Structure 1
Amino acid sequence: MKNYLIILTTALLSVSLAGQEVYNWKALAERYASKNRNQALMAALVQNGGVEYYGFGQISRELGGPPDENTLFEIGALTEVFTTTLMTKEAMEGDFDLSKPIREFLPKDTDVPLFQPQKCVELVLPTSAGGAPQRILSCTPDPLSGEISVALCDLATHSSGLPNSGLGLYDWHPIGLAYRLTGPRPGFDRAAFFRKLAECPLKTMPGSEYRFSNIGIALIGHLLSEAKGEPFDILLEKELLQPLGLNDTRFQLTPEQQSHFAPGFNDKGKPVDHWNFEGMSPAAGLKSSAHDLGGFVVANLRNDNSRWAAVMEQTQQARIDVSFPGLTRPTQAGYGWLISTLSPESNQPVVWMYGGTEGFRAFIGFIKEHGLGIVLLSNSANEIRELGFSMLAELYGAHLQAGGGK
């Protein structure tokens, strides 16, 4: 069994978890890290405003040893909750109306997809003697209905109708079941993004149906950048990451940060390259640590009258029903976040998000009512979403046993 490292950053959890069944969730983490095709797993537990870090497994055979709270991982689609949080902050400060069409935030010569409603009529087709007539629907564009635009809020709830990745950028579903992953094409910069955006059909009417779309989230980042006149990475760092003290959450790493950037391994345990998303960075390009993500969970759990608490509360509001392959819990979407029940035995709502690349997985889940949260980071491409829910359920059970609420 691979070693694990425990790092305490506050005394809060060492007291509050004393005597509880902490080792149930540790056993789950150790089991994951000990599998031959997996490498390291880093966990951050949040309770009572404190964070406790645990590292399991080994980063690689060459490096040896478990990760710590400063080890950096690719977080894939977990990036989107940072993008939507920044969007919400800017909207609450009066800079954006989330109900406005996206074309209002772009230069007039920018082509954006529009949805054309269909007019359908039933046709009755004759059949051979004695057979029942065949009835089919014939649908054609209805010009009298007018074209429907995508709004910013549609992008944030994945209800824009835009496809997930678009035209072969990469072929995978970052929060569903991803068995075959191929990396982003090099050179897919901002200009290429908007060229491809103009070619993307809207599969459903904006605002009507949840369809996961990395393109939609990346578009939020580009819209914010366009409106503010700054590159998105600089804007995110200045307006969100620095104010929250998230100093190791970045798109581009410094040489010092590179020195503790974990190598990635695919689902077969083979080493893979780090991914660079360029034009899709606002959707999936961040690297982060358990330290920073633990701090982000603490910020999301705040329940006071501060500006940040109000922003986080807005992102966490359930707005549209969700379904996708592999999802077994009743789920709705907020702005970036998903809201599901904890388990079949508990209707306790969990706010969560999950991301991955070819060599990494990342999970955040928290129960705001009880101030509990968990962060999982792995430098293996094997599933950790259900592991995250199981570990959070263990933490929640221990919390209740200690008299922490109903």
Structure 2
Amino acid sequence: MNELASLVEQTAARLAARHVGVVVAGLAGGALEIHGAGRTGPGGGVPGAHTLFDIGSVTKVFTSLVLARLALDGAVGLDEPLAEVLHGPAAVPVRNGRPITLRHLATHTSGLPRLPRGMALRALLRPNQPDPYAHCTTERILSGLARTRLHSAPGRSFRYSNLGAGLLGMALAHRAGTGYDELVAREVCAPLGLADTCLRPGTEQSERLARGHAPGGRPVPSWDLAALPGMGGLRSTAADLAVLLRAQLAAEREPDAPLAPAILLTRETRHRVNPFAWAHLGWLGHRLHAQQGRHLQLWHNGGTGGFSSFVAFDPEKQVGVVVLANTRRSVDPAGTALLRRLQIGSGAARS
């Protein structure tokens, strides 16, 4: 077994001790290894490269790629106000005379709160509600948006907002005149050949769908996210996300590769969060301290009622990781540890 395969398998085994099921992928030196452990659900088998998981907020990476694709085509502008893209059905708040733009939504600098208006109270009053976003219809979201007060002027400061990302997906679909699922399929999945990234799995895909679990191991239903799928509604596989990472790693070296112009556009935007971290369109980034090698890490994680995910890469070292689990417990530490092992030049890609 080569070193990359060994590291991936060891990571999966450690995670399986605390999660119902997990799939880990590692990319290094052009090589790819994917390993699963645990089970897909009650009575299920071992998950693998083509098992579908809810990927939660990793969806935001896809939403921002759609934004970049449409911007390059001239269908939208990164600095176009959200109110203009939604085109009439919503009153969008402003602060200090500054409107919310699509760039603000993708970089979490809109000033919007994390959740839709009134949702935090409902979640507090109904902690066992299986899908806290079930009632987030378009009408309710836009009605709440009109009554929302921004925490800061758009573009001024970073404040992570699921609502903002959900509105971005809604606005892009509205401008394109299609559903969010169809838009992602057209702008991202088709160019990259992603076969299993979708909102609602088909019949055959449903047979490969992992079942979500609460931290104690109790099976729980998936979240639907209603009118806000762009913030976290996609399902995908380790195989598909590895293809996405390959595209991210190849973008600077192969500018004519599928999606390369859009990928590079997402990285051109860089809003500073603190001295060590920043936000791109979709991805979050930071550079490690000098004592840790100053390695670059671009990443996003995700979590829903029964799933957790982590996707990260280093375009300088040409390494990346994917971790998908069907338990609502963070996989970030394990994913980050694996990425660092690959970054420090352990020879993981050599047999």
Aligned residue number for residue 127 of structure 1: none
Distance 2:235 2:349 in 1: 35
SS in 1 for 2:33: strand
The question of whether the paired residues in 1 share the 8 Å contact of 2:23 and 2:324 is answered with yes
Aligned residue number for residue 259 of structure 2: 308
| Matching residue's letter, 1:373 | G
Distance 2:345 2:52 in 1: 29
1:99-149: CA deviation from partner (whole Å, max 9, x where unpaired):
12222212235311111x3xxxxxxxxxxxxxxxxxxxxxxxxxxxxx221
SS in 1 for 2:14: helix
Aligned residue number for residue 206 of structure 2: 258
The question of whether the paired residues in 2 share the 8 Å contact of 1:171 and 1:181 is answered with no
Distance 2:4 2:334 in 1: 16
The question of whether the paired residues in 2 share the 8 Å contact of 1:22 and 1:398 is answered with no
Distance 2:128 2:10 in 1: 29
- Are the structure 2 counterparts of residues 351 and 394 from structure 1 closer, same or farther at C-alpha, using a change threshold of 3 Å? same
The question of whether the paired residues in 2 share the 8 Å contact of 1:71 and 1:290 is answered with yes
Aligned residue number for residue 276 of structure 2: 330
In the alignment, which of 21, 33, 51 is matched to residue 40 of structure 1?
21
SS in 2 for 1:386: helix
Aligned residue number for residue 121 of structure 1: none
Aligned residue number for residue 197 of structure 2: 249
Distance 1:181 1:366 in 2: 35
Aligned residue number for residue 156 of structure 1: 106
Q: What's the CA shift for 1:50?
A: 3.9
Percent same amino acid at aligned positions?
30
Distance 1:213 1:374 in 2: 25
In the alignment, which of 128, 134, 137 is matched to residue 186 of structure 1?
134
| Matching residue's letter, 2:14 | R
- Are the structure 2 counterparts of residues 294 and 208 from structure 1 closer, same or farther at C-alpha, using a change threshold of 3 Å? same
The question of whether the paired residues in 2 share the 8 Å contact of 1:171 and 1:182 is answered with no
Larger radius of gyration, structure 1 or 2? 1
Aligned residue number for residue 348 of structure 1: 295
- Are the structure 2 counterparts of residues 171 and 386 from structure 1 closer, same or farther at C-alpha, using a change threshold of 3 Å? farther
Q: What's the CA shift for 1:188?
A: 2.1
1:5-64: CA deviation from partner (whole Å, max 9, x where unpaired):
xxxxxxxxx7xxx3x4753554343122123xx21110111234442211122223421x
The question of whether the paired residues in 2 share the 8 Å contact of 1:25 and 1:390 is answered with no
- Which shifted more, 93-102 or 392-401? 392-401
Q: Which structure has more RCO (C-alpha within 8 Å, separation ≥ 6)?
A: 2
| Matching residue's letter, 2:37 | F
**Which consecutive unaligned segments of at least 5 residues does structure 2 have?**
none
- Are the structure 2 counterparts of residues 383 and 109 from structure 1 closer, same or farther at C-alpha, using a change threshold of 3 Å? closer
2:72 aligned with 1:87, yes or no? Answer: no
1:229-266: CA deviation from partner (whole Å, max 9, x where unpaired):
11221122112212211111001111111111101111
The question of whether the paired residues in 2 share the 8 Å contact of 1:342 and 1:389 is answered with no
| Matching residue's letter, 2:34 | Y
Q: Which has the higher strand share?
A: 1
1:149-181: CA deviation from partner (whole Å, max 9, x where unpaired):
111111110000011112243689xxxxxx999
Distance 2:15 2:288 in 1: 20
SS in 2 for 1:210: coil
Distance 2:177 2:347 in 1: 49
Q: What's the CA shift for 1:357?
A: 0.4
Q: Which has the higher helix share?
A: 2
2:87 aligned with 1:107, yes or no? Answer: yes
Give the TM-score normalised by the residue count of structure 1: 0.78
SS in 2 for 1:153: helix
SS in 2 for 1:243: helix
The question of whether the paired residues in 2 share the 8 Å contact of 1:170 and 1:184 is answered with no
What value does the CA root-mean-square deviation take over the aligned residues? 2.6
SS in 1 for 2:185: helix
Distance 1:270 1:109 in 2: 40
The question of whether the paired residues in 1 share the 8 Å contact of 2:81 and 2:99 is answered with yes
